[in-house]
Amino acid sequence: MTALADLTPGTWTIDESHTTVGFTARHLMVAKVRGRFGKVSGSAEIAEQPLESTVTAAIDLASIDTGDAGRDEHLRSADFFDVEHNPTMTFTSTGIKEDGDDYRLFGDLTIKGVTRPVELELEFDGVSGDPWGGTRAGFTATGEVNRKDWGLEWNVPLEGGGVLVGDKIKLTLDVELVKA
């Protein structure tokens, strides 16, 4: 296992084919629906002091995939992401701090023109050379947001109480970076 200090300073880009931006939402108050965004880009600027590093990412909202084409189209519509007018969700870090053996990543998440602060639990998964002469690093980030904080308010009340879609959205990001 490698330490965060093993990250060499400089630009590290997100490897889209080895990165997953996933989420989980409650459905009918009894089940969970999982989804992911297939297109993500961005980079980390690793500083001499790794806790002073910065991260930026852009997620193509049209790339949403929940395993149900009809649901995905609804999520792309004006009821939710309105990808016609807001095609991208962005994240810009504002700080990193140690938290036991792991870290906390703070940043600004922008969806539909609304920017709100978020806090993610961050685990450093290591750094390693790859078979092509490059260097890669992995991170896992998790957190929870309330979709209504970004104006994602569409819902249907249920006869027995509750709603069709829960407000809390759990985020799970598995990110692989490549040293530029």
pLDDT along the chain (180 residues), means of 10: 83 97 90 96 96 97 97 96 97 96 96 97 95 95 97 84 87 96
> 15 and 177 in contact (C-beta within 8 Å)?
yes
The domains of the chain, with CATH numbers, are 4-179 (2.40.128.110)
Which pLDDT score is estimated for 1?
A: 54
d(CA 141, CA 175): 8
Which pLDDT score is estimated for 69?
A: 98
**Distances from the Cα of 66 to the Cα of 25, 40, 105, 129, 160, angstroms:** 10, 16, 26, 33, 26
**Using CB atoms within 10 A of its CB, is residue 155 exposed (0-12), middle (13-18) or buried (19+)?**
middle
Which pLDDT score is estimated for 164?
A: 82
Amino acid at 42: G
Amino acid at 93: S
The encoded tokens of residue 61 equal 């909202």
Question: Where are the alpha helices (H) located in the chain, listed in sequence order?
Answer: 69-76
Amino acid at 179: K
d(CA 134, CA 45): 17
Q: What is the pTM of this model?
A: 0.92
**Distances from the Cα of 27 to the Cα of 32, 39, 63, 162, 167, angstroms:** 6, 24, 21, 10, 10
